[in-house]
A and B are shown apart, each in its own frame.
Chain A
């Protein structure tokens, strides 16, 4: 069924998907300060510039903190939901599922805008708190879905056996279920972190004075400069995520959850 010419489609696919990355790498090392192609010469100045630009360093730390804290909180709160959905049958389960898939259906920019208006109504709230809430909310669908999938793969009788041997439900969960879900949790963690770390639309309206996420500060940098510094940041980010994803892929095929 697969004929030779169909392999051309792979070339097109990967050329289109990965070509831009090759161009970004090239631009990141090119000596010209503009976007002319092909880049001339070789320099590491743009990479140096990334580390000298406070805007990038500060927002990197904020994105990191935000990604970790919102992923952890969405996991801690999402895990019981996934557990309830998988292990129990209850009438409201359909509604619960809808509520937790909703953040994925609403456009990110709209979420950020709605939250900004709402937080103003609530009064004095720090920018970081607002961002944290926004990111946690959009991560629930991922945590709940991935953890549910991982729970479904787990034989409920193992847990029941532990309980019948005298452990209470919580102990049973902590001692039997949790260790067996390591891979699922790691996958949910990486997926959630990357989603938060790369988010632009939700963060756009919620960022504030001195508190900006990395992608948003990259966007605003582009509003002022068109030099290859962004290419250098992007190159570093690709390396950062490849390492992260590879680590997760080793733990469990991440692709089956995306």
Chain B
């Protein structure tokens, strides 16, 4: 580390431009947002916006639905992602790096493009209905669109890579010797998995779960396209408050609740990590 007498000046020079930018254009708008949520147009300080939010049946349903779908999506991502990440982590490096780039590929394409595919899969004349019809499993097309199922599928596809990536890097750090030692000591596969692999990869699991969950509860495109105007989540509710109800005060409340939710989840993660180490 460099130690110099005019170090402080140098540090300030280095950090100041970006700090000022972020403070003025990012932190300040958020403070303004926070104040909007407690200072209604009529003036005065009030928490009624928050009371109204949690007392309204509509926003309660929307909030709980958002959290519920977030949990379901996270669970699905763990169920699909964990075994696959385990296989990937045990692969020779060359093959793994190719397969990993395929995991990343979807992340590099925008959410609208990726959600569009679900319209073709889930529609009345979509892939699933056509398949079921041709197998004579159903007589009439089933409605999948505009349902929680549609949103969950879209979100899971969107965020699965965020589960797989940290899991793979956590799992590849478990030395093969450890697993072998466990087996030599007589542990069967399941025991080794539950007692050794899961605890040793818990860091990646928790990080992945946090990324998937926060991504899911704040995503906009997927619920907007697959859910329709009736099946609102927090993000689409925020948009509705702004563009159709012109209620900036209520919208600010929704926005702050969204921030607090993501912060709470991230904080939980930190606590968990501290406990681990």
A and B touch in the complex (CB under 8 A): yes
Which among B25, B84, B157, B214 is the interface contact of A20 at CB below 8 angstroms? Answer: B157
For B25, the closest partner residue in chain A by CB is A133
A241 within 8 A of B: yes
Give the distance to chain A from B181, nearest Cβ to Cβ, in Å.
12
A20 near B121: Cβ-Cβ < 8 Å? yes
| Stretch binding the partner chain, chosen from B49-57, B67-75, B201-209, B216-224 | B216-224
B101 within 8 A of A: yes
A194-233 residues with Cβ-Cβ distance < 8 A to B are 194, 197-201, 204-205, 214-215, 218-219, 222, 226, 230-231, 233
B114 within 8 A of A: yes
A140 near B22: Cβ-Cβ < 8 Å? yes
B86 near A38: Cβ-Cβ < 8 Å? no
With known contacts A9-B83, A110-B259, A80–B14 Cβ distance under 8 A: yes
With known contacts A16-B157, A198-B111, A110–B33 Cβ distance under 8 A: yes
A24 within 8 A of B: yes
B116 near A205: Cβ-Cβ < 8 Å? no
B152 within 8 A of A: no
B-chain residues with CB within 8 Å of residue A35 when the two chains form the complex: 119-120, 123, 125-126
7 A-B contact pairs sorted by A residue (CB < 8 Å): A17-B160, A81-B18, A100-B18, A102-B26, A110-B238, A110-B255, A238-B109
A137 near B21: Cβ-Cβ < 8 Å? yes
Give the distance to chain B from A151, nearest Cβ to Cβ, in Å.
12
A175 within 8 A of B: no
Other A-B contacts than A19-B117, A109-B258, A200-B112, 20 sampled, CB-CB below 8 A, are A9-B83, A9-B86, A10-B88, A20-B114, A37-B123, A37-B126, A81-B14, A87-B1, A96-B15, A107-B214, A107-B255, A110-B238, A113-B251, A205-B242, A230-B116, A233-B113, A234-B116, A238-B105, A238-B113, A258-B104
Give the distance to chain B from A74, nearest Cβ to Cβ, in Å.
8
User: Per-residue CB proximity of B9-31 to A under 8 Å, as 1/0?
Assistant: 01101110111011101111110
A226–B251 Cα gap in the complex (Å)? 30
B-chain residues with CB within 8 Å of residue A140 when the two chains form the complex: 18, 21-22
- Secondary structure at chain B's binding surface: helix, strand, loop or mixed? helix
With known contacts A17-B161, A253-B97, A80–B17 Cβ distance under 8 A: yes
A34 near B125: Cβ-Cβ < 8 Å? yes
B2 within 8 A of A: yes
B81 near A114: Cβ-Cβ < 8 Å? no
User: Per-residue CB proximity of B23-52 to A under 8 Å, as 1/0?
Assistant: 101111110110010000000000000000
B184 within 8 A of A: no
A165 within 8 A of B: no
A164–B224 Cα gap in the complex (Å)? 59
B112 near A218: Cβ-Cβ < 8 Å? yes
Give the distance to chain B from A14, nearest Cβ to Cβ, in Å.
7
B88 near A90: Cβ-Cβ < 8 Å? no
With known contacts A100-B22, A114-B33, A245-B104, A20–B111 Cβ distance under 8 A: no
A23 within 8 A of B: yes
A215–B219 Cα gap in the complex (Å)? 14
A12–B80 Cα gap in the complex (Å)? 7
A13 within 8 A of B: yes
